[in-house]
Structures are given as C-alpha cells and as structure tokens.
Structure 1
Amino acid sequence: MGGFDLNSFISSVCIWAIPVIFAITIHEAAHAYAARYFGDNTAYAAGRLTLNPLKHIDPVGTILLPLLLMAVGGFLFGWAKPVPVRFGNLRNPKRDMRWVAAAGPLSNYAQAFFWLLLLKLSVSMPGSDFQIPLYKMAQAGISINLSLMVLNLLPILPLDGGRILVSLLPWKQAEAFSRTEQYGFWILLGLIASGPLLGVSLLGVIMNPLMDWVAIPLKLLL
C-alpha cells in the first residue's frame, strides 16, 4: 500500500498551478468583458475586468480545495470568485445573458488550443531540459480547460450552462427553472460524491463523453 509521496505532490502542484490560474483568471475576465460589452459595467466597476489572478482567486475554491483533492487523488474541482453581473443592466437581458455566460467556457476552449500549441512546441525540443516540464504542463492546460469548459456548460444553475438554458427557454419555463438555482450546488456536490459512494463517478459518466467530443478538433491538429 503506497503512502503519500510529497515529492510527487509538489511536482504535480508545480505542473498544474500555472494552467489552473490562467484557466480561472481568463474565464472570469471573459465574463466581465462580455458583460461590459453588452451593457453591464458592474464587474468593471468592481475591478474584475482584469487578468490579475488575485482579483479572481477564491482562497478555498481556487487553492485549498484543489490542493486537498490533488493530495488524495480525487476529481480536481474548484471555483473562483464569481464575476458580479446585473443581467437587468444588459441591453437585451434574456438574449445577452447567454453570451455573457458562454464567454467563460469559450475562453477555456481557446486556451486549450493555446496549450496544444505549447504541447507541439515541446515535442519539437528533443534533448531540452524544458521539454518534459513543458509537455506535462501543456497536457495539464488542455485537460483543465476542457474540464472547466464542459463542467461549466452543464445545464445546472448557477453554472454557465444553466444561465444559457434560462436564456433559451420561454419566459414561463425559464422562471420555473431559475427556482432550481438554490439546489444547484448540492446537485453538483452529489455528482462529485457519487464516485467514492457508488464506486462510479456520475459526474465522470456525464463529462467524459462530452470531453472526448470537444477534444476532437484538438486531436485533429496533433
């Protein structure tokens, strides 16, 4: 039975730290930019239209929880401080909500392609001391960004996918669905906890096929 390997843990943290910080920072900044573009300056006034990670990091959701999950080998899960958006300030609240919500996941997809370029660059550096660290970091960057994209597009409030679904539903159905937001965190927590409880991760069952599908364009470029 293997014990906790501190060196392996530190190595994993070094590899994953930069991709994770970039992924959540650009995700939240993209929400802020889209909100301002469509008429709401709330995030901009709060100083969230920035690529400064310190403005977006949540000490528990961005640092403590992911570190604990990495230490125990669990599903890497976390969150950043949500960007404040007043949808009523948008020029067309119901329509523009979907673009503000979609901006974050789309930024993660774009970042996955950026990390793919670095992955290809690392392959072209045989013998370099930077090859293996860059290759592993690029793999982590692709993985975390695809994971964040797919996770956030799940049709569960308050995730981005839930906001997009609200914007697409007729008013009556959208209002009814909006009332499920108070249960969203518990639904997500249940999907994550299903792994150790049931022996199979329901979140993985949902996300893995979707991640394989969105990864097809990247695989074609390898």
Structure 2
Amino acid sequence: MSFIQNLLPDNILITAVCLLLTIVAHELAHGGAALLMGDTTAKDAGRLSLNPIKHMDPLGTLSLLFFRFGWAKPVPINPNRFRNRKAGMLFVSAAGAGMNLLLATVSVGLFIYTGNKHPLWAEFLQLMILYNVYFAVFNLLPFPPLDGSKIVFSFLPVQMERKVYQYQRYFYIILVIFVFSGALQRILVPAANAIIRFLVGLFL
C-alpha cells in the first residue's frame, strides 16, 4: 500500500484531523442522503451527528493511530424504507464519494487562493485534497462492499442483483488481493491525479 505511505506527512495531528474529516463527511453524506430518500435509520441511531466519536470504529481508530489510515463505522441504511428503492440506492451510494469530491474541490480552491498564508494551513489543504480524492475513487470501485458496487447494482434487475450478491465474498477477496498486491495503486493513482488536475483547472 505504498500509495498510502506517500500520503503520510510527519505531522500526525494534521493527518488524523484530515482523515477524520474525510471519513466522517463521507458517512454523514450517506446518512443524509438516506434521510432525503425516506429512510430515518441513521437519524434514529444518532448517526447524523458532527461528533466524530459517534462514527468511530474501534479497529478503524486504532489503524488511524498506528498506520495513519482508518475508517469509520458505516452509517446504518435500510433500503426497504426508501420511497424508491433503486433510485434511493443510487443516490445514497453516490453521496459519500460526492461529498468527498466536494470537499476536495473546496480545498483546491482554498489552497490556490490562501495556501501561501501558513505552511501548516497549506499542508492541511493538500492532505484534504489528497485524502478526499483518493477516498472517493477507492469507494467508487465496483467491488462489494464498496459504494461503486451498489451504484452498479442499482441499475440491475432485482433478480440479477440478488444473484451477484451471492458471490459477494469472492469480490471481497478480489478487492483484498488488489489492495495488497499493488494493483490498486495502478488504478487509484492515475485516476486521482486526473481528478486533481481537473479540479485545479477549475480555478486557473
């Protein structure tokens, strides 16, 4: 996972803050989108909160502290409560990556116009750009349980969706192999770089 190592600065505090903002915003977007589609599960569970403690996963938090890369507890979603199940799955699944790309866009703009104010501010914005873009691209990969697979499934007939889900564990194994073999890096890095260049071009 050398691509992650390349993103790790010496300032662990800035790293932790950026990762928490990236991950919590991603999960909040899922919960908020689900609420808009009629599912109150996340709201009822108290997960539509800006308090990062409510979103912390014990193992993900330990990973964040020791490896500077972690994850949050997935926001609970009940697709059966969506007003339109297929549309709801598409909207909710895309919301997390959409929020990350929005944060990356704002961070690019702030970096271009205010990044020279202070070195720590510039480092914070650079990491917000990198983490949010990488997190968005990673989650859009079409491997269960990532959001990208749910976006693809939202276009499939229900019968086909159920059949594909029967093989979910095999897709998970493929994803793990991609991560630890370095193959994931060859997908993420070019895609992330292209997105960052595009975002920078919006402000120049």
Q: Which bin holds the TM-score, normalised by the shorter protein?
A: 0.7 to 0.9
Residue 171 of structure 1: how far off its partner (Å): 2.8
Aligned residue in 1 for 2:194:
213
3-state DSSP of counterpart to 2:35: helix
CA distance in 2, matches of 1:186, 1:64: 23
Aligned residue in 2 for 1:202:
183
3-state DSSP of counterpart to 1:168: coil
Percentage of identical aligned residues: 36
TM-score under structure 2 normalisation?
Answer: 0.88
1:34–1:100 CA contact under 8 A, matched in 2: yes
Aligned residue in 2 for 1:69:
67
Aligned length: 196
Matches within 5 A, 1:142-157: 142-157=129-144
* RMSD of equivalent CA atoms: 1.9
Q: Deviations over 1:55-108 (max 9, x none)?
A: 1111211x22234334xxxxx4x3210011110110111221010111100000
User: Could you say if the C-alpha distance between residues 66 and 188 of structure 1 is closer, same or farther in structure 2, counting changes exceeding 3 Å?
Assistant: farther
Aligned residue in 2 for 1:192:
179
Matches within 5 A, 1:27-106: 27-61=26-60, 63-70=61-68, 76=69, 78-106=70-98
The worse-fitting range, judged by mean Cα deviation, of 203-212 and 152-161 is 203-212
1:118–1:135 CA contact under 8 A, matched in 2: no
Residue 121 of structure 1: how far off its partner (Å): 4.0
User: Could you say if the C-alpha distance between residues 53 and 144 of structure 1 is closer, same or farther in structure 2, counting changes exceeding 3 Å?
Assistant: same
CA distance in 2, matches of 1:23, 1:183: 28
- Unaligned runs of at least 5 residues, structure 2: 1-7
Aligned residue in 2 for 1:18:
17
User: Could you say if the C-alpha distance between residues 183 and 64 of structure 1 is closer, same or farther in structure 2, counting changes exceeding 3 Å?
Assistant: farther
Displaced runs of 4 or more, over 6 A = none
2:108–2:200 CA contact under 8 A, matched in 1: no
Q: Whose Rg is larger?
A: 1
2:39–2:81 CA contact under 8 A, matched in 1: yes
Aligned residue in 1 for 2:151:
164
2:18–2:127 CA contact under 8 A, matched in 1: yes
1:166–1:178 CA contact under 8 A, matched in 2: no
Q: Which structure has the higher relative contact order (CA within 8 Å, separation 6+)?
A: 2
1:30–1:104 CA contact under 8 A, matched in 2: yes
Residue 44 of structure 1: how far off its partner (Å): 0.6
User: Could you say if the C-alpha distance between residues 184 and 47 of structure 1 is closer, same or farther in structure 2, counting changes exceeding 3 Å?
Assistant: farther
CA distance in 1, matches of 2:77, 2:15: 29
1:16–1:141 CA contact under 8 A, matched in 2: no
1:151–1:207 CA contact under 8 A, matched in 2: yes
User: Could you say if the C-alpha distance between residues 216 and 187 of structure 1 is closer, same or farther in structure 2, counting changes exceeding 3 Å?
Assistant: same
CA distance in 2, matches of 1:180, 1:95: 23
Residue 141 of structure 1: how far off its partner (Å): 0.6
CA distance in 1, matches of 2:149, 2:93: 9
